[in-house]
Amino acid sequence: MYFEEALYVLDIGQNDLTAGYFLNYTHQQIRDSIPQVLYEFQSHVLALHGQGAKRFMIITTGQLGCLPYILTSIPYTRADLDRYGCAKPYNSMARFFNRELRTTIAKLQQQMPNTTVVAAVLQNLRDSERCA
């Protein structure tokens, strides 16, 4: 009974992407892993729904290129930095991930009638003003 009344808050992306960088994966390897990450995420959401969950808030990833642990631990060049000192390639990966996540969320909404699914975007990733 309470399971159906709960709000399920799911945060996805940041650790999924940065873990690959810390394992020295290339940008392409990380990009190639995103469909599998989202497939597994979708499977877990559908499993929760199968148990009666009806309300989901999905938190997207923020600007990876502005994270201190990215800027101090992962290689980048001076040319990779935007005017705010954030690493553009990592922010670009976050934007790509969030676009793919929105597609996954749309599929989930179609597969789960009478269910509310809301995406909470942490930051506008069009520029890095918010991390300055």
Please determine, for residue 127, whether its predicted confidence score (pLDDT) is greater than 50.
no
User: Is the separation of the CB atoms in 83 and 77 below 8 Å?
Assistant: no
Q: What is the pLDDT of residue 128?
A: 43
User: Is the separation of the CB atoms in 74 and 90 below 8 Å?
Assistant: yes
Q: What is the pLDDT of residue 129?
A: 42
Segment 14-29 shows an average pLDDT of: 94
Measured distance CA(42)–CA(48) in Å, rounded? 10
Is the overall model pTM greater than 0.95, yes or no? no
Q: What is the pLDDT of residue 1?
A: 65
Choose between 69 and 31: higher pLDDT.
31
Distances (CA, A) of 123 to 55, 86, 126: 22, 14, 9
